[in-house]
Chains A and B, each alone.
Chain A
Amino acid sequence: MATFYGSRNKTMERHVLLRDIDVPNIREIDVYLANDGYAAWKKALTTMKPDDVISVVKDSGLRGRGGAGFPAGVKWSFIPKDVFPKYVVVNGDESEAGTFKDHQLIDCNPHQVIEGTLLACYAVQANTAYIYLRGEFYEPAQTLQKAIDEAYARGLIGKNVLGSGFDVDVYIHLGAGAYICGEETALLSSLEGQLGQPRLRPPFPAQQGLYAKPTVVNNVETLANVPPIVLHGAQWYRQFGTEKSPGTKIFCVSGCVNRPGNYELPLGQYTIRELIEMAGGALQGRAVKGVLPAGSSAPILPASALDTKLDYESLQAAGSILGSASFVILDESVDIVWAARKMVRFFKHESCGKCTPCREGTHWALQLYNKLLSGYGTLDDVNMIGEVAAQMSGKCFCLLGEFATSPMLSTLKHFRAEYEAFVRAHSGGLRNGYDDELIREHVIDPAGNLIAGAVGQKRH
């Protein structure tokens, strides 16, 4: 299993998160226990008050790894003390294009995820944790369940853990295949068995989350950081990273590189260019054309931004976001219009339909891209893409709709000339080599002709 992970991606002397690279078979409980496993959990239960755990995580400056980068300790401190029950929900939906870090953590170092979850439960005094995994994580779920069962068997989870008087249970829930269910409020609705659509905020999950009770939602990777922080202290953790972006972060690198995979690095130490080099450089030595730092949700950065440092602030200053740090590398062979369409199609497919601008805007935008890609587009259509995106922007109910505008707006911003060249090169509906998907969607026939009126006739 999990042969695609390996020590070839070793980037640190000792990894904080991807410890499977340093310690073979750490996913076995005995190996994990022999390597400081559950030491933080024992330390917390026997020597720390719940608030001490919150303090150390706050002091460490650990920021959420699910995308928004909100400080985890601060989030925990919002949980009211006097309302019961409370819940910890672990976000393992991992649906952002190009993101596969939680997958490796669960597959190869599951106990660290569980230990982090337990520490969060203790910190906010929640007796129940739900780990929500994307529906496709059927096998990782089995790995994780096995690890949970082992921890129960060792008395690390369950009633009166290690004689501390603290009860805690951990459950896994598999989603049903929706990107939106990674958004924390949609996730909670989905977990409750409701339609997977985001909820109005306020109330925030910390006040009324799962079953309208105070709930902490944290990403898998965020929680995997917690055991070393509790064990070694905030100062130890801050030796990695920068003042505002402390710690290490897993970077998922994919796209046109020789060695795609997960790379754990201290935040702010390296640049995008160095990250690409670690990943074996661009394919066949081609030049990098652009980088998507957080999958399809982040604005694309042109090659001129390759020297940007890898931390929250630097990427923001460069005009994009760090998000979940799923770096998709596009080289000069990639057609930007084609790539943008793929991303727009993804959002169109994943739009939950709750709000008008995202539901209708992604559809409209995809119509325009389909028209371009089938060779019938005009410069007006290119402008229209920008207008539709601007028309959606700032009006959507949740961030998914806002994310959907970034492939459009950012590719137009940096690669407008490519759009124009595309329109000129393909005017007249010539078959262009990119249309396999369009053929599947019955927009153009195998001979490359636009099927009259076909665009938009499909119900979805």
Chain B
Amino acid sequence: MAELVNVTIDGVTVAVPKGTLVVDAAKKIGNHIPVFCYHPKLKPVGMCRMCLVDIGTPKIDPATKQVVRDENGNPVIQFMPKLTTACTTPVSEGMVVRTATEQVRAAREDILEFLLTSHPLDCPICDKGGECPLQNLTLAHGPGVSRFDYDAKFHNEKHVPLGELIFLDRERCIQCSRCIRFQDEIADDHVLQFHDRGRGMEIITFSDPPFDSYFGGNTTDICPVGALTTADFRFKARPWELQSAQSICTHCAVGCNITLNTRLETRHGGFEIKRVMPRQNEWVNEIWICDKGRYVHHFTRSEDRLHLPLIRREGRLVESTWQQALQLVADTLRAADGEIVLMVGDRIPNEDAYLLGQLGRAIGARVSVSPNVPSHYADVARAFGVGKDADFKRLGRGDLVLAVNADVEEQAPVWFLRLRQAVVDRGAQLIIAHHRSTKLHRYASAIHRFEVGRAPEWVQQQAETLAQALQAARHALIVFGDEHLDGPRARALAQLLANLLLQSGHAGRSDSGLLPLYPHANTQGVCDVLSPHTALPPAARVVWAVGVGDPQELPPAGFYIIQEVLHTALVEQADVVLPSLTFAEREGTFTSGDRRVQRFYRALPAPGEAKPDWWIAQEVARRLGFEWRYNSPAEIFEALAKDVPAYAELSYAALSRVVEQWPPIGREDLYYGGTAYDNTGGIGARYAAEAETRALPPYDVTIPEPTIAGLKRGPRMLYRDGELIRRSALLRARMVSLQQVA
């Protein structure tokens, strides 16, 4: 625990850790010193001068080096000759800060009046209007009128594409450099900079392609004005028209907390998602999300959405009622005599997957996951994953991050941010082994290379050295991926890494453990609640595929039941099609790659008659004679928690727990407003790794020979050139072409 120092702000004394900035100390006691350039996630620069306050320190007698005291024995406070920026000044013992004096009040008004001399009167048409720190602070602290000659206002370009996805309005920019600093300090993509000087100083991008970053969207959140907007959201809605629903991103295993902003639209026949914003969860994504998470939501209103059940009649799929489709499914399953394969995809929430699994077992089906889903090592991750209370924030000096066969920025972008901070800002050691370079390589203290697909062999050969390196570390986090590995070899890799943890004494320790790079939001959860067969199932009479997307191959079967949200290629092969819901239209829980179980909430009405997967499973079950009466995912979760040992201690109530987070960022806050949504939906909870609860033996590992199929399994990229957004004619239409930018 850092040393505490006492500081008195407007008469209120508070003890804060040494090194805390005055602006944060004040915030802690509800004194909101206005800021523009300061952002608690970025290093202070002190350039906007909005946070000027009067700061004094106890007078020290130069001779005795003792605090000088007045006749009452109180220390004499010496105030600085000028006002000082609260965002750059760390507190010191006995410091006295005055924020309510006439001088400070006038200074705030002065700075705002200056800023507004260069600011257009755009509020009525500005995307930030309504959640704009400049608007808010002007109302709170600004002058009512400007004395600046309106004719002399500043004019500048208003629609500058900085990249394909971000526009800059040069008139609105208040030169706070938050965007530059985010790109430099957090994303480590140095793509923005100031150009020119004085009033001509403006934001430019100098990368090729322009604004080349996976995290660029975050700059539009932290921009304190409407200078930066996304191509996707600009001019699409006013903030106060938006409804918000707390949700979880489904695109990778990080499980970023997001808010879905929706608005009633006639064009799409109901509510639609207008934008995705980060939602604060300091244990997961802080206040950031990657661009995939931000922009990939248009599929929820894709033309390809399935609205009604379909049944194949005379070779063609025709619309039917649920009654007909469910009866057909039930009859077919009953007649299949257990020769059924039930395959579940890894975007299906825990409750739905659980109920499907229950049904599958009850009718003797072979329950498995989609062949796309790397299910072979989920049990290893369950046993040796990071500890229940592990916290990225704590990783730092003395700790070791080992990245094997992992491209963290591609496969779990926000984890890249967190690991980078642990290494670069807090001094954790990073060892990387991969057959190619990744962005994380920039920070490695040791880089090893192996032949493509030879990660397990490399770990086996290096076991002794690696174990030593691990042993020397306080905590050890091992992040790994399955690039160029088939299931059994990926499992061998996971087991070898688990053995390293055992050997070095890190197994079961809180901030140590495995961090697998799964492809989607619920890979771990689906494997946890289904206990699936891992091998590709043999031929069957009936294949029932739920949310499996477009797998390379399906087992041969006489009858295909396809349960999907979109009209995929697989649907063409179906005998019955059951339309289901995306994460945005239902509620449930996902289990992230680090085994944090998190709730998401419903944001949109169902399209047509599409239904959640759990409802479909229950309706089929009832037609097969099972008396299930679940009314909601909450009830199913209760049953699940009783049944799946790892989840025994979890409950919906526990997952919905909210705690106070620092920095306090959210809707109510005047100066970080617009940055991210506050978390009222719950921060989720991680279940304990088995190794935390009991001693586990090492795995007896034999590495299977590589298969051609395995070697061919390329890196699972979240970001592919020109393919940021699948099935999104909408976003594509909004993106700026590169020619336009150049």
A357 CB, min distance to chain B CBs, angstroms: 6
Cβ contact within 8 Å between B147 and A359: no
What residues on A are CB-neighbors of B118 within 8 Å? 360, 363
Residue A356 at the chain B interface, CB threshold 8 Å: yes
Determine which of A180, A200, A348 lies in contact with B46 in the assembled complex, contact meaning CB atoms within 8 Å.
A200
Is B70 interfacial (CB-CB < 8 Å)? no
Of all chain A residues, which has the CB nearest B194?
Answer: A195
**A397 at the A/B interface (Cβ < 8 Å)?**
yes
User: Is residue A440 within 8 Å, beta carbon to beta carbon, of the partner chain?
Assistant: no
Please, which residues of chain B bring their CB within 8 A of the CB of A196? 197
- B153 to nearest A CB, angstroms? 7
Tally of contacts, chain A with chain B, CB under 8 A:
109
Q: How far is the CB of A236 from chain B (nearest CB, A)?
A: 31
Q: Are A357 and B110 in contact (CB under 8 A)?
A: yes
B151 within 8 A of A: yes
Q: B residues within 8 A CB of A363? A: 117-118, 198-199
Whether the pair B49, A456 counts as a contact (CB closer than 8 A) is no
Let me know if A394 is at the binding interface, CB within 8 A. yes
The chain A residue sitting closest to B82, CB to CB, is A394
Q: A364-B148, A395-B52, A456-B149 are in contact. Are A357 and B193 (CB under 8 A)?
A: no
**Docked-complex contact A455 and B149, CB < 8 angstroms:** yes
Q: Knowing A200-B88, A351-B197, A353-B194 touch, does A459 contact B49 (C-beta < 8 A)?
A: no
Q: Taking the complex as formed, is B424 at the interface, i.e. its CB lies under 8 A from any CB of chain A?
A: no
- Per-residue CB contact flags for chain B residues 102-124 toward chain A (1 = under 8 Å, else 0) read 00000100110111011000000
CB pair A367–B49 under 8 Å, yes or no, is no
Whether the pair B198, A397 counts as a contact (CB closer than 8 A) is no
Instruction: Please give the distance in Å from A35's CB to the nearest CB on chain B.
Output: 43
B198 touches A349 (CB 8 A): yes
Q: Does A453 contact B (CB under 8 A)?
A: yes
* Chain B residues in 8 Å Cβ range of A396: 49
Query: Within 8 Å of chain A (Cβ to Cβ): is B235?
Result: no
- Count chain A CB atoms within 10 A of each CB in B152, B154, B194 and give the residue with the most: B152
Which of B115, B149, B154, B156 is within 8 Å of A356, CB to CB?
B115
**B114 x A353 contact (CB < 8 A):** no
Is there an interface contact between B110 and A397, defined as CB atoms closer than 8 Å? no
B63 to chain A, nearest CB (A): 19
Residues 402-460 (chain A) with a chain B CB within 8 angstroms: 453, 455-457, 459-460
Residue-by-residue, is A83-123 near B (CB-CB < 8 Å gives 1, otherwise 0)? Answer: 00000000000000000000000000000000000000000
Q: In the complex, what residues of B have CB within 8 A of residue A349's CB?
A: 198
Contacting pair A455 B151 (CB below 8 A)? yes
Choice from B49, B117, B151, B193 contacting A397 with Cβ under 8 Å: B49
- Give the distance in Å from the alpha carbon of A348 to the alpha carbon of B174 in the complex: 17
Residue pair A359, B201 in contact (C-beta under 8 Å): yes
Interface residue B83 (Cβ < 8 Å from any Cβ of A) = yes
- A353 partner, pick from B83, B110, B198, beta carbons under 8 A: B198
Check A352 for interface membership: any CB of B closer than 8 A: yes
Q: Is the CB of B155 within 8 A of A457?
A: yes
Q: Which positions 167-225 of chain B face chain A at CB distance < 8 Å? A: 174-175, 193-194, 196-201
Instruction: Find out whether the CB atom of A353 lies under 8 angstroms from the CB atom of B111.
Output: no
Question: Whole-angstrom distance from the CB of A149 to the nearest CB of chain B?
Answer: 34
Q: Residues of A contacting B147 with CB < 8 Å? A: 384, 387
Bound Cα distance A353, B175 (Å) = 8
Q: How many residues of B contact A (CB 8 A)?
A: 38
Query: Does B47 count as interface, using CB distance less than 8 angstroms?
Result: yes
A12→B48 CA distance, assembly (Å): 49
Q: Which residues of A contact B155 (CB under 8 A)?
A: 457, 459
Distance between Cα atoms of A354 and B85 in the complex (Å): 14
Which residues A160-195 have CB closer than 8 A to chain B? 178, 180, 195
A296: CB under 8 A from chain B?
A: no
Does B44 reach chain A (CB closer than 8 Å)? yes
The verdict on A264 contacting chain B, using a C-beta distance below 8 Å, is no
Q: Which of B44, B152, B156, B193 contacts A195 (CB 8 A)?
A: B193
Q: How far is the CA of A457 from the CA of B153 in the complex (A)?
A: 7
A325-377 contacts to B, CB under 8 A, are 348-357, 359-364, 367, 371
The prevalent SS among residues of B at the interface is: loop
- Bound: A356/B111 CA distance, A: 7
Expressed in whole angstroms, the minimum distance between the Cβ of B116 and any Cβ of chain A is 9
Q: A144 → chain B, closest Cβ, in Å? A: 27
A349-B198, A456-B154 known; A361 vs B47 contact (CB < 8 Å): no
Q: Across the interface, do A395 and B110 meet the contact criterion of CB distance under 8 Å?
A: yes
When C-beta atoms are compared, the residue in chain A nearest to B44 turns out to be A200
Please encode chain B, from 618 to 656, with 1 for each CB lying within 8 Å of some chain A CB and 0 for all others.
Answer: 000000000000000000000000000000000000000
A457 to B115, CA, bound (A): 17
B50 interface hit (Cβ, 8 Å): yes
Q: Is B540 an interface residue (CB 8 A)?
A: no
Chain B residue at smallest Cβ distance from A195? B194
C-beta contact mask, B131-154 vs A, less than 8 Å → 1, else 0? 000000000000000011101111
CA distance in complex: A106, B152 (Å): 44
Residue of A nearest to B50 (CB): A356
If A351-B197, A460-B199, A460-B200 touch, does A395 touch B49 (CB 8 Å cutoff)? yes
Asked if A391 is at the interface of the complex by the 8 Å CB criterion, the answer is yes
Give the CA-CA distance A356 to B151 in the complex, in Å: 20
A352 to B194, CA, bound (A): 11
Contact present for A364 and B117 (CB under 8 Å): yes
Q: What B residues does A367 contact at CB under 8 A?
A: 149, 152
Q: Which residue of A lies closest to B175 (CB)?
A: A353
Chain B positions 57-89 with a Cβ under 8 Å from a chain A Cβ: 82-83, 88
CA distance A394 to B48 in the complex (A): 14
Q: Which residues of A contact B154 (CB under 8 A)?
A: 456, 459
The minimal Cβ–Cβ distance linking A201 to chain B, given in whole angstroms, is 9
Which of B149, B194, B197 neighbours the largest number of chain A CB atoms within 10 Å of its CB?
B197
Measured CB to CB, the closest approach of chain B to A438, in angstroms, equals: 14
**In whole angstroms, what is the CA distance A78 to B153 when docked?**
47
CA A357 to CA B114, docked complex, whole Å? 6
Please state if A456 and B197 are interface contacts (CB–CB under 8 Å).
no
Interchain CB contact under 8 A, B151 and A359? no
Alpha-carbon distance between A453 and B155 when the two chains are bound, in angstroms = 12
Chain B hits for A353, CB < 8 A? 175, 194, 196-201
B242 within 8 A of A: no
Taking CB atoms, residues of chain A closer than 8 Å to B115 are 356, 360
- Interface 1/0s, chain A 120-133, versus B by CB < 8 A? 00000000000000
Chain B's closest residue to A452 (CB) is B151
CA distance A391 to B201 in the complex (A): 21
Cβ-based interface call for B736 (8 A) = no
Chain A, Cβ-Cβ closest to B148: A364
User: Which B475-497 residues sit within 8 Å CB-CB of chain A?
Assistant: none
How far is A180 from B197 in the complex, measured between Cα atoms in Å?
10
Partner of B48, one of A355, A455, A460: A355
CA distance A352 to B201 in the complex (A): 8
**Residue of chain A at shortest CB distance from B176:** A356
Q: Which of B44, B115, B148 has the most CB of A within 10 A?
A: B148
Does A348 contact B198, Cβ atoms closer than 8 Å? yes
- Check B45 for interface membership: any CB of A closer than 8 A: yes
A350→B329 CA distance, assembly (Å): 77
Contacts of A360 in B (CB 8 A): 114-115, 117-118, 199
Asked if residues A459 and B194 are in contact (CB atoms below 8 Å), the reply is: no
Decide yes or no: A395 and B198 within 8 Å by CB, A354-B47, A359-B175, A456-B154 being known contacts.
no
Q: 27 A-B pairs, CB-CB below 8 angstroms?
A: A178-B197, A200-B44, A200-B88, A350-B198, A351-B198, A352-B197, A353-B194, A353-B197, A354-B201, A355-B47, A356-B47, A356-B49, A356-B175, A359-B199, A360-B199, A361-B114, A363-B118, A364-B152, A384-B147, A395-B82, A397-B46, A456-B149, A456-B153, A457-B155, A459-B154, A459-B155, A460-B200
Using a CB–CB cutoff of 8 Å, the interface residues on chain B facing chain A are 44-50, 52, 82-83, 88, 107, 110-111, 113-115, 117-118, 147-149, 151-156, 174-175, 193-194, 196-201
Name 5 extra pairs, CB < 8 A, besides A363-B199, A460-B198. Answer: A355-B46, A355-B47, A355-B49, A359-B199, A360-B115
User: What is A's interface to B at a CB cutoff of 8 Å?
Assistant: 178, 180, 195-197, 200, 348-357, 359-364, 367, 371, 384, 387, 391, 394-397, 453, 455-457, 459-460
